[in-house]
Structure 1
Amino acid sequence: MNGKVVGFFIAALAVVCTYCSSGNLNNVDSAKAVNDTIRIANDSLEYEVVIFDSGFNSWLQRAAPRGFYSQSYLEARNQVWVQQWNIKANTQGSSNLFLTQIEYNPRINYGYEVNYLLFNYLTYFQLQNNVNLGTFQPRRFQ
């Protein structure tokens, strides 16, 4: 592993993307939910996402199923929302919801699963906290 760790923390949330080598997360071996913790990883651990947030796991069960949105759709939303998140994180006097930046590089192919989880967490976060991270309005999946 190169040891390059990208992450952000909000209250009881931690999303960590670990970049170990070039490539993407195509062969996901497991998605485990334990005590509202979701871990997505593959054998080579090129990228990993871990989310700790009370209520997110049950919310995710009601979200759009995997494959409903294309990876390019998820990446487009993530890029805009992460950019707005980082602006709020860098603004003095901004809400204490945005404590640190999210390092999300649109030139890296994180794969479908990482983008799916990030998209759904950012949707959940906006709906739960009644905030808007850009021109794309988050919506509940029915």
Structure 2
Amino acid sequence: MKTFLLIIGFSIAIYSCGSGDAAFKNSSDRTAANDTIRIANDSLEYEIIIIEPGFQAWLASQPPRGFYGQPYLEVRNRLIVNEYNNRVRQINRYPRDLYVQEINYDTTIDYGYEVNYLLYNYFLFFQRRYNQKFIGIRN
């Protein structure tokens, strides 16, 4: 399960050197160390690391924790992760530098609210920053 979240962090770090829209470029002037978010649970053996310049500032402008219920976030994450993984498999259709490796999001595991909240919001950020559209996610 650790690989699921490490993959996200790694793929984000690789692609963060690419271009995004101008509004995000202005907010990404901070160092990666200031924009690293880490969540870990040793008992479930998972870890999420999000290294994306501008993500923390963007997250602060989003609805607060508790705004969405955990079941809502889990359903959305399930849909988005499935679509993300499908894009990873379609190497000729989607950029390899954006969709590096599949995400192992096991629907039988309760990751808790915090992981689901951050993952959902990361996908919102990813969608907007890299001009991608996911099914089941607001614009």
Relative to the length of structure 1, the TM-score reads 0.73
What is the rounded CA distance, in whole Å, between the counterparts of 2:40 and 2:90 in structure 1? 33
What is the rounded CA distance, in whole Å, between the counterparts of 2:11 and 2:129 in structure 1? 13
Contact 2:12 2:50 in 1 (8 A): no
- SS of the residue corresponding to residue 58 of structure 1 reads helix
**Which structure 2 residues correspond to residues 36-51 of structure 1 after superposition, within 5 A?**
36-41=35-40, 44=42, 46=44, 47-51=46-50
Contact 2:3 2:104 in 1 (8 A): yes
- SS of the residue corresponding to residue 3 of structure 2 reads strand
Q: Give the corresponding residue for 2:87.
A: 88
**Which structure 2 residues correspond to residues 84-123 of structure 1 after superposition, within 5 A?**
84-93=83-92, 94-96=94-96, 97-123=98-124
What is the rounded CA distance, in whole Å, between the counterparts of 2:110 and 2:71 in structure 1? 10
Q: Give the corresponding residue for 2:125.
A: 124
- SS of the residue corresponding to residue 51 of structure 1 reads strand
What is the rounded CA distance, in whole Å, between the counterparts of 1:34 and 1:95 in structure 2? 26
Following superposition, which runs of at least 4 residues in structure 1 exceed 4 angstroms of deviation? Answer: none
What is the rounded CA distance, in whole Å, between the counterparts of 2:74 and 2:60 in structure 1? 21
Q: Displacement, 1:92? A: 2.3
Give the counterpart letter for 2:69 in structure 1: S
Give the counterpart letter for 1:6 in structure 2: T
Q: Give the corresponding residue for 1:79.
A: 78
Structure 2 unaligned regions, length at least 5? 15-31
Which protein has greater RCO, CA pairs closer than 8 Å, 6+ apart?
2
Give the counterpart letter for 2:89 in structure 1: N
Q: Give the corresponding residue for 2:20.
A: none
Q: Closer, same or farther in 2 for the Cα pair 1:74/1:12, shift >3 Å?
A: same
Give the counterpart letter for 1:89 in structure 2: V
In the alignment, is residue 6 of structure 1 matched against residue 7 of structure 2?
A: no
Superposition RMSD on alpha carbons, in Å? 2.0
Give the counterpart letter for 1:101 in structure 2: E
Give the counterpart letter for 1:110 in structure 2: Y
Identity %: 43
Q: Which deviations, in whole Å up to 9, do the C-alpha atoms of 1:98-140 show, x marking residues without a partner?
A: 0111110111100000101100001110011111122x2333x
Q: Which deviations, in whole Å up to 9, do the C-alpha atoms of 1:24-51 show, x marking residues without a partner?
A: xxxxxxxxx9510112346x55343221
